[in-house]
Structure 1
Amino acid sequence: MKRFDYLIVGSGLFGATFAYLARKKGKRCLVIDKRSHIGGNLYCENIKGINVHKYGAHIFHTSNKEVWNFVNSIVEFNRYTNSPVANYKGKVYNLPFNMNTFYQMWGVTTPAEAEIKLEEQRAEAKVTLNGREPQNLEEQAQLLIGKDIYTILIKGYTEKQWGRSCKELPAFIIRRLPIRMTFDNNYFNDKYQGIPIGGYNKLIKGLLENTEIRLNCDFFKERETLTALADKIVYTGAIDEFYDYKFGRLQYRTVSFDTQIKDIPNYQGNAVVNYTEREVPYTRIIEHKHFEMFGTTINECPQTVVSYEYSTEWELGMEPYYPVNDAHNNILAEKYRELAAQETNVIFGGRLAEYKYYDMAPVIEKVFFTIRALEL
């Protein structure tokens, strides 16, 4: 009899949630992580009393009441509402595209006026296409929203995000755009959203309470020894690495951060400000205190912490963030998924193991599904 039922490779949201639910079913779990901390990319670093999202901003949102009740049973979530703004050459616009945006763009004040303006813009794009389907992101975006908003709020940001011209990006990336004919700056349509009170570390610690954890533990350096400890593996790392890059390496976009302490209580007045002009090198600035401090409490902390976010091409040794959704990588990923589907003692889960971009709530939903399928 092996010492553990499950060896869980990675202490991020998938691994931590699996460990929690499996332990509730009486299963013995060992969680390992090659980093020096738990939580994966959810990890927060406390700087000047502020929980800094070390690997980029994470905002929990869902319409699934079961998921919302689950995370709140671990730690209570606050009322943070994601309402980012865009800065283009010093002028600020609300996101997502709504009546505030249309007023800032064109001076229109009613939904009827905004619809007329949008149709004028779309008509221009239709003339340019002359009956053919959009061939790239630029053509698709202008057909959906028109030239003005595309040029000011989409083009530069998207090109920085993906490191290539919008004319080189496939149309399907932007087949849908959120357009609201209301003065509503709430970015998400989900029923529930917020941030754990006290930061995401509290959520992960709660999920991993009473579970054995080994940090600074690289699965691939001790693969044989670690595998021998458990009946099954829950793997949340890169799927191509698991198979020793048998078909080649998958590609990613990555993000780097320049995090700075500012000697003022409030730097930009919002958690997220996107910089949409191409000439500004960073894609956005995150001011972390706004995730957990509201109203007058912002000024109670005399300093603030901001992170300038830069999107770059991923290279070996960098942290992989976003799967590259193109034909080459999709074909390659499917080959690896076919291998994974044949495994009887390995469960692959999460962004890297499935080569799929996930928000947090769907990760938890996937764990729920996996646990139920295992009939633990």
Structure 2
Amino acid sequence: MGGTATIVGAGLAGAAAAWFLTRRGFSVEVYEQAHVVGGHVRTEWFRGIPYEPHGAHIFHTDHRSVWDLVSGTVEFVPYRHRVLTRLRGRLVSWPPQRAELCASADFTDIALELADRPGAVDESDFESYCVSVLGPTLYGESVRGYTEKQWGRHPRTLSAAVARGRVELRNDGCHDFFRDTYQGWPRRGYGDLVEALLRQAVVHLGCRITLKDLPEVSQAGRPVIVTSALDDFLGEAGALQWRGVRLQPVYLPETALAQPAMVVNEPSVTLAWTRSIETKWALPELHDRLGTLVLREYPGAEAKHYPVLDAAGENQRTQRELEHRLLGQSRNPIHTAGRLATYSYINMDVAILQGLRVAEKVAAQEEC
């Protein structure tokens, strides 16, 4: 059994696909345009302190098979993620807890609005969704400014899909940001995980591959898995809208932990950054050690971190057109997986699942 396969991109989706195929006897070559593997999830280290140059990444999933794969490949430490947001000068839980807000005289007006919310969620657009869930005041003070900074556009122009599963009101006392059964953080960072998944593949770094390059890297008829953005892969950079962030680190040598949680959201438009991140929280054995890094996350960088799912669906239509063009070429069977290639706002476990599923499809076609 086996064969040859080419993978474009060495992030989680590409690494998962490579892991699956090499275990099935395939000879796999992976091409990554950066000079390191890991894509946007790679962890870096400074004086023994972890930080993430592309923003906070917490592994969480309800898929036992995905958890078994990642935790069986490298060591994971238990970590339940907490997020706080600044509201009227105080730090409160995010997602917000109704009981926490109602118990404080500072939020009496918000508590009254929460008691008078509509029964159904308005799915018209991002803003309508959030107002129907949180009420106008809590939305206006905790989400609207953050969203305007993060996306560089009015919240009404974003799809409700951006809020779905990310904006909620709780009243259960659960302060974990995620509710998934399996949650953790790789002890040696995400780069270690991706490198381990790619161990049996041949990886070419610093190699940007587009559709026109396929004759140089793959024989005709052999499968290709694309995990890079399709506008880049098809040579049409700019066809899709993306949003990027940049992280500004601050090293505090005399401080063990600088924040009460890994992530603190800053929704006020008077601040240029959207949140501050202290990745050191993920590793309990480091908590008492002096020296920490806090990264402020600024939006608007020239990077493809987030697809812009607009309320009108224009970017989504462009993505479908690019997919149609990609499938229309006949030299190689091409499959797509991952956030960039599918232009979808997915979590890490879904990216891995997509990589595994397309790899399984490739292997099944080889058997035919």
Query: SS in structure 2 opposite 1:217?
Result: coil
**Correspondence for 2:203:** 213
> How far is 1:75 from its partner?
1.1
**Correspondence for 2:296:** 308
Give the gaps of 5 or more residues in structure 1: 127-132
In the alignment, the residues of structure 1 paired with residue 34 and residue 258 of structure 2 have an alpha-carbon distance, to the nearest angstrom, of: 31
**Correspondence for 2:68:** 69
**Correspondence for 1:49:** 48
Query: SS in structure 1 opposite 2:150?
Result: helix
RMSD of equivalent CA atoms: 2.9
Kept after mapping to 2: 8 A contact 1:37/1:215: yes
* TM-score of the two chains, using structure 1 as the length reference: 0.85
Deviates more, 1:218-227 or 1:100-109: 100-109
**Correspondence for 2:334:** 346
Deviates more, 1:59-68 or 1:210-219: 210-219
**Correspondence for 2:190:** 200
Match of 2:275 among 284, 292, 300: 284
1:244-283 correspondence to structure 2 within 5 Å:
244-245=235-236, 249-263=239-253, 264-283=255-274
Query: SS in structure 2 opposite 1:143?
Result: helix
In the alignment, the residues of structure 2 paired with residue 88 and residue 251 of structure 1 have an alpha-carbon distance, to the nearest angstrom, of: 31
Match of 2:181 among 191, 194, 208: 191
Amino acid at match of 2:138: I
> How far is 1:323 from its partner?
0.9
Kept after mapping to 2: 8 A contact 1:95/1:101: no
Kept after mapping to 1: 8 A contact 2:261/2:281: yes
Aligned length: 354
**Correspondence for 2:284:** 293
Are 2:356 and 1:372 equivalent residues in the alignment?
A: no
Query: SS in structure 2 opposite 1:6?
Result: strand
Amino acid at match of 2:352: I
**Correspondence for 2:347:** 359
Query: SS in structure 2 opposite 1:38?
Result: coil
Kept after mapping to 1: 8 A contact 2:13/2:353: no
Summarize the Cα distance change of 1:97–1:89 in structure 2 as closer, same or farther, 3 Å threshold: closer
In the alignment, the residues of structure 2 paired with residue 106 and residue 338 of structure 1 have an alpha-carbon distance, to the nearest angstrom, of: 56
Kept after mapping to 1: 8 A contact 2:12/2:352: yes
**Correspondence for 1:155:** 144
Match of 2:320 among 325, 330, 334: 334
Match of 1:321 among 302, 305, 319: 305
Query: SS in structure 1 opposite 2:51?
Result: strand
> How far is 1:242 from its partner?
2.1
Percent of residue pairs bearing the same amino acid type: 28
* TM-score of the two chains, using structure 2 as the length reference: 0.87
In the alignment, the residues of structure 2 paired with residue 230 and residue 6 of structure 1 have an alpha-carbon distance, to the nearest angstrom, of: 10
1:61-210 correspondence to structure 2 within 5 Å:
61-99=60-98, 101-103=100-102, 118-120=114-116, 122=117, 137-170=126-159, 173-174=162-163, 177-210=167-200
> How far is 1:152 from its partner?
2.0
1:304-359 CA-partner distances (Å, limit 9, x unpaired): 011110111x6xxx221111112221111111122234455222211111111221
Summarize the Cα distance change of 1:35–1:229 in structure 2 as closer, same or farther, 3 Å threshold: farther
Kept after mapping to 2: 8 A contact 1:29/1:212: yes
In the alignment, the residues of structure 1 paired with residue 234 and residue 156 of structure 2 have an alpha-carbon distance, to the nearest angstrom, of: 35
